[in-house]
Structure 1
Amino acid sequence: MRAVGVPRFDEGVYRTLLGYRDATPAELGRDLGFPTDRVDRALTRLRHQGLVSRLSGRRRRYTAIEPDAAVETLVRHRTTQLEAVRTTAMELSSLFHSVQRGDGRGGAVELLEGPQSLGRWFVRLQHQVQVEMLVLDRPPYALAQSNPIEPASLAGGVRWRGIYTPEALEVPGALEEIERLAALGEESRVLPDLPMKLAIADRQVALLPLSLDLGTSRALLVRESTLLDALIDLFECYWERALPLMHGGQPTAGGPHPAGGPDPAGPDPDGPDEADRALVALLASGMTDAAIARRLGLSTRTMRRRTRRLFDQLSASNRFQAGIQAARRGWL
């Protein structure tokens, strides 16, 4: 696998992990006869390359990503020795399926059981997407929120649209991660009371969790069908209702503004300064006053005083109205 940037030692760690459903660095180190810290560094590199995932919990445990999906993403960025790399991927996939429970490929709808199966399929969809990824994002999360696969997809020209709940933005480090992804090209919006999670790759296959309980996760894998068409339409409806996220005074890349788009007259010349633009976007996101104040480095009292002034300026009586009015005036 050196042709796709995986060193020999890291490949050995990956092959060993394929023999487990999940394992710690110490367990893999005992099998390989190498120090735990060296194996741990290799797992970190493999995670950044999208070959392994770290499971949630205080103890560091890792699980392998299905090879024929994970390696394909690396192949896109390494055209040399392409056939040799694909042969290696097939070999690793055969080993993977000899240990892991096979997901199989069913009909239009397939039931997935358990959080690990759901997590593997979500990673697989991200590896396979070539044109567009649509995501509804809300807590709780089984894995760390940092996503090493999405930046590579964005760099490869994939259009990535994400709709977040306000609760997702209040997870420590989440807003900074969304800002980083937005700078790379993700189109981000926020919608209060988002009831579900959803991921749709290339409008061809969708992953729909049936429960938000991480302990008893079940999900539907939906392939091309009228149900998939309905899920795509549902995402587009949510997208039209959601408000653009703005980070540090800069709007994310995105399509038309909700609620009819900006005022045809153009941006309001008497609009807010950059600090107020950031405030109105965070208000529209649904974050709590305390969270917004921390984000902007203000006291809660100062933040609320500025909020009242913005409401007066926008003729709004609540946050959502303020967001709609700000979008119409071209402030977002």
Structure 2
Amino acid sequence: MINLLGAAGVDSFDESVYRALLARHTAGPSTVATDVGCSQKRVTRALNRLRAHGLVDRLAGRPHRYAAIDPHIAVEALIRSRAGELDQVRAAVGELSRLAVTAHPDGTEQIEIVRGRDALLRWFVRLQQEAREEVLGLVLPPYAQAPSNPAEDTALARGVRYRGVYAPEALEGGTLLEIQDLARRGEQARVLPGLRVKLAITDRRLALLPLSFDMSDVSAVVVRPSALLDALVDFFELCWRQSVPLQGDDDEVSSEDRSLLALMAAGLKDEAIARRLGLSLRTMRRRVSALHIRLGATNRFQAGVIAAQRGWL
């Protein structure tokens, strides 16, 4: 099932019910159940969840009928709500980071301060070299080094799994091509607009958390097993659930149009998309209009849904 709204906390089945209701504007559970091919009871539960998300409304009278709310209004409100949840988790991480530093029985500190660009890079490479199963990352510029990461190539080759959540601005320049190349070799890459935390976690037992984006005065903390590490893992997983997948090429669409759709889905502004693709703003918008016509879509939300259905995203 397509799950474009998964990043906003809506699962694939509920999204299929929402799309079916959008096609009819208003309908009862039995009609929607016929459209999606499942039981009325399951559809009713999904409609109630969608109602809680603010995507549908229940009309007065009996039998119950539901109306789909305009995606431009409903989805935007849902995104703002999820962003608020992220802010709450981010605040909790900040509170936990103020806990007093304690020590393990072997004498190693749970929290270690790292200062200087070289020390940060050494720890970043070390985390990947020590990884046995998985490396988790939240990625956004500025970088302490070039965006390329040779240590990841080596780790992927020996079977370490990588999951990366990128801020849209991390896709500027040539970074998107590098991310797509890593995805072809096994990295699971996603994009999350509004990401404001940089983070790397190895095997859920060691984390590296930069404390600022000032590359002239670099500092970070190394976090070992503790309540703070648990909170950082939970924060990553929340970001992962709310992010949008970046997937590979498809023969049905040109590579440039696929890149255009991917950048639109990632939430980049028109100016950033045009700059990334080397197009004038006017040409980029003309290509978007052409894609809308080709897909039979009247807005970007519909274009994203239809493109995903065709396997273009």
TM-score (norm 1): 0.55
Which residue is 2:142 aligned to? 140
**What are the superposed Cα offsets for residues 61-96 of structure 1, whole Å, 9 maximum, x if unpaired?**
xxxxxxxxxxxxxxxxxxxxxxxxxxxxxxxxxxxx
Which residue is 2:199 aligned to? 198
Per the TM alignment, residue 288 of structure 1 is displaced from its structure 2 partner at its CA by 4.1
Which runs of structure 2 are paired with 1:110-129 in the superposition (5 Å)? 110-129=112-131
TM-score (norm 2): 0.58
Per the TM alignment, residue 205 of structure 1 is displaced from its structure 2 partner at its CA by 0.5
**What are the superposed Cα offsets for residues 215-236 of structure 1, whole Å, 9 maximum, x if unpaired?**
2222111111121111111111
Whether 1:245 and 2:239 are equivalent positions in the alignment is no
Choose from 300, 307, 322 the match for 2:281. Answer: 300
Residue identity opposite 1:124 in structure 2: R
Which residue is 1:175 aligned to? 176
Q: 2:115 touches 2:220 (CA, 8 Å); kept in 1?
A: yes
Q: 1:328 to 1:237 in 2, by over 3 A?
A: farther
Q: 1:316 to 1:210 in 2, by over 3 A?
A: farther
Q: 1:126 touches 1:150 (CA, 8 Å); kept in 2?
A: yes
Which region of structure 1 is more displaced relative to structure 2, 206-215 or 176-185?
Answer: 176-185
Choose from 237, 253, 273 the match for 1:273. Answer: 253
Q: 1:284 touches 1:323 (CA, 8 Å); kept in 2?
A: yes
Whether 1:159 and 2:140 are equivalent positions in the alignment is no
Instruction: For 1:331 and 1:300, locate their aligned partners in 2 and report how far apart those are by CA, in whole Å.
Output: 23
Q: 2:184 touches 2:248 (CA, 8 Å); kept in 1?
A: no
Instruction: For 1:234 and 1:323, locate their aligned partners in 2 and report how far apart those are by CA, in whole Å.
Output: 27
Q: Which has the higher contact order (CA 8 A, sep 6+)?
A: 2
Instruction: For 2:304 and 2:215, locate their aligned partners in 1 and report how far apart those are by CA, in whole Å.
Output: 33
Which residue is 1:289 aligned to? 270
Whether 1:235 and 2:245 are equivalent positions in the alignment is no
Instruction: For 1:139 and 1:111, locate their aligned partners in 2 and report how far apart those are by CA, in whole Å.
Output: 21
Q: 1:327 to 1:154 in 2, by over 3 A?
A: same
Instruction: For 1:149 and 1:122, locate their aligned partners in 2 and report how far apart those are by CA, in whole Å.
Output: 9
Q: 1:314 touches 1:326 (CA, 8 Å); kept in 2?
A: no
Residue identity opposite 1:228 in structure 2: L
Per the TM alignment, residue 207 of structure 1 is displaced from its structure 2 partner at its CA by 0.4
Per the TM alignment, residue 175 of structure 1 is displaced from its structure 2 partner at its CA by 1.7
Q: 1:301 to 1:231 in 2, by over 3 A?
A: same
Residue identity opposite 2:204 in structure 1: R
Which runs of structure 2 are paired with 1:4-83 in the superposition (5 Å)? none
Per the TM alignment, residue 128 of structure 1 is displaced from its structure 2 partner at its CA by 0.6
Gaps in structure 2 of 5+ consecutive residues: 1-105
Which residue is 2:3 aligned to? none
Q: 1:164 touches 1:188 (CA, 8 Å); kept in 2?
A: yes
| SS of match in other structure, 2:162 | strand
Gaps in structure 1 of 5+ consecutive residues: 1-103, 251-271
Per the TM alignment, residue 137 of structure 1 is displaced from its structure 2 partner at its CA by 0.7
Instruction: For 2:258 and 2:128, locate their aligned partners in 1 and report how far apart those are by CA, in whole Å.
Output: 32
Over the aligned positions, Cα root-mean-square deviation in angstroms equals 2.9
Which residue is 2:73 aligned to? none
Per the TM alignment, residue 249 of structure 1 is displaced from its structure 2 partner at its CA by 3.9
Per the TM alignment, residue 273 of structure 1 is displaced from its structure 2 partner at its CA by 3.4
Instruction: For 1:154 and 1:244, locate their aligned partners in 2 and report how far apart those are by CA, in whole Å.
Output: 19
Which residue is 1:108 aligned to? 110
Per the TM alignment, residue 279 of structure 1 is displaced from its structure 2 partner at its CA by 2.3
Which residue is 2:151 aligned to? 149
**What are the superposed Cα offsets for residues 116-144 of structure 1, whole Å, 9 maximum, x if unpaired?**
22221111101111100001111111212
The aligned length equals 206
Q: 1:113 to 1:105 in 2, by over 3 A?
A: farther
Per the TM alignment, residue 314 of structure 1 is displaced from its structure 2 partner at its CA by 7.6
